[in-house]
Structure 1
Amino acid sequence: MKKKSLWLLGMLIAMMLFVVACGNDDDASSSDGGDSASESTDGENTEGSEGCEEPTTYKFFDASKSDDDLNTAETKLGKMFEEETCVNFDIEHIVGDVNQKIGTMIASGEYPHLMNAEQSTDAVIDAGGFVPLNDLIEEHAPNIKKWYGPYLEFMKRSDGNIYIIPSGASNGYIKPPNIYQGAWWIKRDVLREMDYPQPKTLDDFFDIIEEYVSNNPQIDGMDTIGFTALTDDWRFFALSNQPNHLAGYPNDGGVQVDLETHEAKVYNNNEDTKRWLEKLNEVHHKGLVDQEMFTQNYDEYLAKISTGRVVGFFDYHWQVADALNTIREDEDFYSEYMAFPVVFEEGIKDQYLDPVGFAASPGQGITVNTTEEERIEIIKFLDYLMQEEIQKMITWGIEGETYSVDEDGMFYQTEEQFAQTSVDSFRREFGFRTFEWGWPRLNGLFDDGNAVEARNQPSVAQLAYNDVDKEFLDAYGIETFAELFSEPDERPWYPAYDAPIETGSQAQLYEQQLDDLMKRTYPGMIFADEGDFESLWNSYSEEFEKLPIEEFEKVMTEYIDNKVRVAEEAAAAAE
């Protein structure tokens, strides 16, 4: 059965569930978790906490992004939510090494009330740091049940427990107008000077960089950087994933999955990876590769891009958004970057746009440093956020203030509304930046056909384009920037990168040893003297073959097969 049908039918099952609403009428100064909400047949909380004088503050540690620490009630949305639920959160964002920070928590046994442990999620679960959420969801979270219904089985670990609520329950597919995932980016100034070339292959991409650097050895008095990459800490995947994408595969978590057999195979020692590293070595000798690529930290990497001195790079938009937003806010529109779906050679279908999918991890978990009453109150707050009307507030804002509605019920923005919601300082103060990611939320479409994210609504996307944007759209004969990218193939298992890897297992050992091996050997291969690459690659391959590859591939293949099975069973039950 086609994947889209599987997911849509799965959603029908969830939508048929009888759900009840729950609110929080707790005493103003305590977290007693009393469940006195009114009931509703639409699965949404309809009653808040009237007469709340002293809200309860919980601590939330968010390792998913670096940002300013704040209390949610310091934002407009957060204050409104506090008035309804009598709950707010002190959010601490990650600074420094995630694994070290989480490791300290595990060693001490001291956790915040709510936590997103990002890549250390499995370690926290194995250490007993998160509490099971099954009963809490069943008894107190009708909206989470409603929207996450098709995915609850995916959220269960091997012990049958759900510990994490990920940020994103897909509800239909909409092709984004712009690129928010992985792509190969080239500075617009470069494209304009060279009469708008369209790189389709890796050779095309570097040919453009080479020609431009040759003619422009400096940009604004600084040495031009032809190509750089993000390699800092856990973000190393931004470099190691590149050969996988070039070969026409999506980001499935260190494996390439056969569309027919669903067999997962690692690629870090196959011809795709060798071809990519050898190409980097080649362009290094032409002076095109950033010599600080393996020593710069994340902030330094972003700073280089925001200065406009980098000609091209590969990365996921969400990792470079701060740098790209900085350039746009400065209205230096020709210093912005345009995304291209580069592959090794023509004929390979690009897979940069994500298909409908569900990642069970990372996400938010309630920690053991909570009482039963506190757990109930926290899960009720998370469930409150999953009301469809609250979701619309989180992504669109307030009708008449940040968006409007036409006679057909479709959301749109006036030019003034769009300009206001495009300013980062406003997004922070309003609460968009705080709530739109990291918490339980929807992806794709609302049931009324509106895009969950305003930026994906066609009318808003068109409104977002300035004269320089339109210049490039016209030059490439497209109406949106994502038009250059192929529609994704259907993958019922996507993504596989959320597969739970048991700590201490051979599969986990593979991931750790591979990470160490790549970080130790990739710099040497990329910056190798001419003629030395082949021997260094052979040495790397010999070490790679000693890793527990088969154990990792087995775990990944079994996980993919299980995802496909659950999707098929959900579809069959709906027929």
Structure 2
Amino acid sequence: MKKRGLSMILMAGLLSGLLAGCSGGESAGGSSDPNKPVTLSWLVYDRVEGKVRDDWEIFKELQEKTGVKVDFQIVSQEGLQEKKQIMIATNSVTDIMQVDTQEGREHGPEKVFLNLNDYLDGAPNLKKFFEDYPEAKAVATGADGGIYSVPVIEGDAEGKGFNFIWYTRKDLMDKHGLKAPTTTDEFYEFLKAYKEKEPNSYPLISNAIVGDTGLYTVMGRAFTGIQGFFNIDPATGSYAFAPYHDGYKESLMFLNKLYTEKLLDPEYSLLTQAQWEERILTGKSLVTYFWKADLESLTDKARKAGAADYELDAIPMFAADGVKNYQYSRPVIGGVGRAISAKVKDKERAVQFLDYLKSEEGSNLLSLGIEGKTYTIENGQPVFMKEFGASPFNTLRKDWGVWYDLITLNNAKSREVWERGLSDKSKEINKLYEPFILPAPKQIVKTEEEMELEKSKLNNLNKFLEQRLTEFVTGKTPMTDEAYQQFLDECKKLGADDLLNMYNTAYDRTYGGK
């Protein structure tokens, strides 16, 4: 009865034209007092492209449309995770915040986050979203059946969109007559030739050792076909632990050879993002694996700094003989979402605000901005303003708050519009990488016991892996059969088998092993 009564109240608000998602852009309302201004706090961090501002025009538009003023609670990117964890642990989260979908499932039933399921009858855009994306509903639903987050849309349904490419200095590659590698052996010869021609360089550099662009992730995949430490093996459709796989030892031996011959930056495991960029821009390093979106902006930055002939370009992905040469696409449903505090003062208004952000109009504001100011319509399709250049996200984020991390709910929409206006060069890169892209695995939904297992073992295992792999690559621990077996034995002691079995069990339960 309570739910039915609430639904009738909320529907009355909809019929009176207060919720823009169903009323062609009118203000969002709520059952308490739809005309009264409401302020909602929102946890964010400052991006390198530009700091969070309280005068972004899209949020003025949002306030006019919904009556909701957003009060950004700003932390540093480095301090974000700790701040979020403290807020969750003390049940003092901001009214709106980004959470991992797992955090939503785990802490929602503890009354940290609002159960959106109780409000869906009065939130048509959210309701349709969960109907259209069953995976989003699965990863947002807690053990008690409540829905505790609205996952961010990351990729297209076809599984073709991707993020990362191998960069190299095309101007130097052409100057020295080098040929793009297609195998790991050719990649070694490619780096060796660069070193001979550019002796003051360390040709290969990475901005991280783990994660999507991490050196161990990328080279591990090239030698085993497994991306990261735990992931779906595209050859079997089941989870695998990369160090158990044939070829992983060879990947470490390969990296050790690069390190020993000074083909890999000797400080690769310690570099900051700023140091990585400085070495790429100044020619101290010549090859890296990074976000494709940054290639042209980095080229422009180097040229503006005085390197007139500087040009970055993509080389194909490569893999060892007999190993699947691929990169997973962006997932359709991301691993994070927006959640509402269970303690928010006006629950109905908060839900209706989030619902408006999932409407076409609200989604466009966060993902595209304002027509005529951040994008135009060409041939019936939106395209970002040409004056924003090859990397429009820099201006969009800095000056408008559009496509801003922890704020937007649909990165796929922004990327689709960005890629529509790509340069011919970027379109050629997309075409070059098309054959390598596989649809990303879907997220798995873990039980409470499985989450506890992961929490108790994964962090320690990851720290051990990062430390020991670095020791192997740098030669601190010589790569002998005995040393590698001891490494595997220690992985087992730290829970590698338990985690692998858990991931496969959860994946099979969630998706029937498919």
TM bin, normalised by shorter chain, reads 0.7 to 0.9
1:100 aligns with 2:74: no
Gaps of 5+ in 2: 1-6
1:522 Cα deviation from its structure 2 partner: 1.6
| Partner of residue 454, structure 2 | 507
> Partners in 2 of 1:378 and 1:90 — Cα distance?
15
> Partners in 1 of 2:437 and 2:467 — Cα distance?
35
Aligned with residue 139 of structure 1, among 121, 142, 164: 121
1:168 aligns with 2:153: yes
Q: What are the within-5 Å matches in structure 2 for residues 467-546 of structure 1?
A: 469=425, 480-487=428-435, 494-496=441-443, 505-528=452-475, 532-546=479-493
> Partners in 2 of 1:562 and 1:517 — Cα distance?
29
Q: 1:113 to 1:546 in 2, by over 3 A?
A: same
After TM superposition, the score normalised by the length of structure 2 is 0.80
Amino acid at match of 1:410: Q
1:229 aligns with 2:177: no
Amino acid at match of 1:242: V
Q: Does the CA contact (< 8 Å) of 2:155 and 2:332 recur in 1?
A: yes
Q: Does the CA contact (< 8 Å) of 1:230 and 1:236 recur in 2?
A: no
1:121 Cα deviation from its structure 2 partner: 3.5
Amino acid at match of 1:434: Y
Q: Does the CA contact (< 8 Å) of 2:93 and 2:341 recur in 1?
A: yes
Q: Does the CA contact (< 8 Å) of 1:24 and 1:85 recur in 2?
A: no
Aligned with residue 389 of structure 1, among 339, 361, 380: 361
| Partner of residue 370, structure 1 | 344
1:47 Cα deviation from its structure 2 partner: 1.4
> Partners in 1 of 2:431 and 2:451 — Cα distance?
44
Query: Residue deviations 1:427-460, cap 9 Å, x none?
Result: 421232437x64322636xxxxxx8631222xx1
Q: 1:346 to 1:418 in 2, by over 3 A?
A: farther
1:276 Cα deviation from its structure 2 partner: 1.4
| Partner of residue 275, structure 1 | 250
Q: Does the CA contact (< 8 Å) of 1:69 and 1:91 recur in 2?
A: no
Q: 1:338 to 1:502 in 2, by over 3 A?
A: farther
Query: Residue deviations 1:251-294, cap 9 Å, x none?
Result: 5872233566x322211332332221111101111012222222
Please report the RMSD computed on the Cα atoms of aligned residues, expressed in angstroms: 4.2
Larger deviation: 274-283 or 54-63? 54-63
> Partners in 2 of 1:388 and 1:202 — Cα distance?
46
1:395 Cα deviation from its structure 2 partner: 3.6
> Partners in 1 of 2:391 and 2:477 — Cα distance?
51
Q: Does the CA contact (< 8 Å) of 1:252 and 1:496 recur in 2?
A: no
Task: State the percentage of identical aligned residues.
Answer: 15
Aligned with residue 239 of structure 1, among 215, 221, 230: 215
| Partner of residue 343, structure 1 | 318
1:396 Cα deviation from its structure 2 partner: 3.7
> Partners in 2 of 1:420 and 1:286 — Cα distance?
36
Q: 1:411 to 1:426 in 2, by over 3 A?
A: closer
> Partners in 2 of 1:22 and 1:404 — Cα distance?
38
| Partner of residue 418, structure 2 | 455
Gaps of 5+ in 1: 1-19, 26-33, 219-223, 445-450, 474-478, 568-575
| Partner of residue 500, structure 2 | 553
Q: Does the CA contact (< 8 Å) of 1:227 and 1:289 recur in 2?
A: yes
> Partners in 2 of 1:544 and 1:402 — Cα distance?
50
Number of equivalenced pairs: 498
Query: Residue deviations 1:367-391, cap 9 Å, x none?
Result: 34423x1x33233222212222343
> Partners in 2 of 1:546 and 1:164 — Cα distance?
35
1:239 Cα deviation from its structure 2 partner: 3.3
| Partner of residue 412, structure 2 | 443
| Secondary structure of 1:225 counterpart | coil
After TM superposition, the score normalised by the length of structure 1 is 0.72
